Amino acid sequence: MYTRIYFLRYPKETSDQPIIYRLVKSYDVEFNILKADIRPQRDGIMVLELKGQKENVQDALDYLKSLGVKAERLAGKVRRDDKKCFQCGACTGICPVGALYVQRPEMEVIFDPEKCTACGLCVTGCPVRAMEVCFDPLTEKSITV
Ligand code: SF4
Ligand code: SF4
């Protein structure tokens, strides 16, 4: 599954249009709104995660651009809050690239940010939300999903 996170700037002319609905209906992509501030007749912003076939995600982006929406890809990073993590190991079976694994014999759950592709699967899979998506330096704060 191709996954990308975008920072979108909506012109006020599009604020009342069902853009996300059309994205899903016409381009067969899944979405996850990580942050949004859209108000009637005002320019708006949204941090949007898109998942699907690569060509579908790109077609969806072209659609957004055709409406005047500026889309900037975010280099989302995932980090672990070690104060929250209680080493349960649930995330190690979720991570598709082995960025979360159990180190033996200590049985310590290790997070290797170098391997992480920021797919976000562990973020929702962690029972205490110790894994966070962050978008520094653009928003200068993290978003827990
Ligand atoms: S699922 Fe969460 S609490 Fe459990 S080891 Fe992974 S990061 Fe830590
Ligand atoms: S975001 Fe994806 S690649 Fe990174 S640690 Fe979590 S599950 Fe693994």
Q: Where does residue 69 fall: left (phi above 0), alpha (psi -120 to 50 degrees), or beta otherwise?
A: beta
The answer to whether the CB of 91 is under 6 A from ligand 1 is yes
Q: Dig out the tokens for 99 from the structure.
A: 């960025």
| Residue nearest atom 2 of ligand 1, based on CA coordinates | 126
The answer to whether the CB of 78 is under 6 A from ligand 1 is no
Structural domain boundaries of the chain?
2-74, 77-143
What is the rounded distance in angstroms from the CA atom of residue 145 to the CA atom of residue 135? 13
Domain 2-74, CATH class in plain words: alpha beta
pLDDT in tens, 94-144: 988 899 999 999 999 999 998 887 777 788 789 999 998 776 544 434 433
Q: Would you place residue 75 in the very low, low, confident or very high pLDDT band (cuts 50, 70, 90)?
A: low
The answer to whether the CB of 131 is under 6 A from ligand 1 is yes
- CA of residue 138 to ligand 1 center, whole Å: 27
Q: What is the pLDDT of residue 24?
A: 87
The answer to whether the CB of 80 is under 6 A from ligand 1 is yes
What is the rounded distance in angstroms from the CA atom of residue 128 to the CA atom of residue 27? 33
Q: Indicate the fold that domain 77-143 takes in CATH.
A: Alpha-Beta Plaits (3.30.70)
Q: Indicate if 77-143 has the same CATH topology as 2-74.
A: yes
- CA of residue 112 to ligand 2 center, whole Å: 9
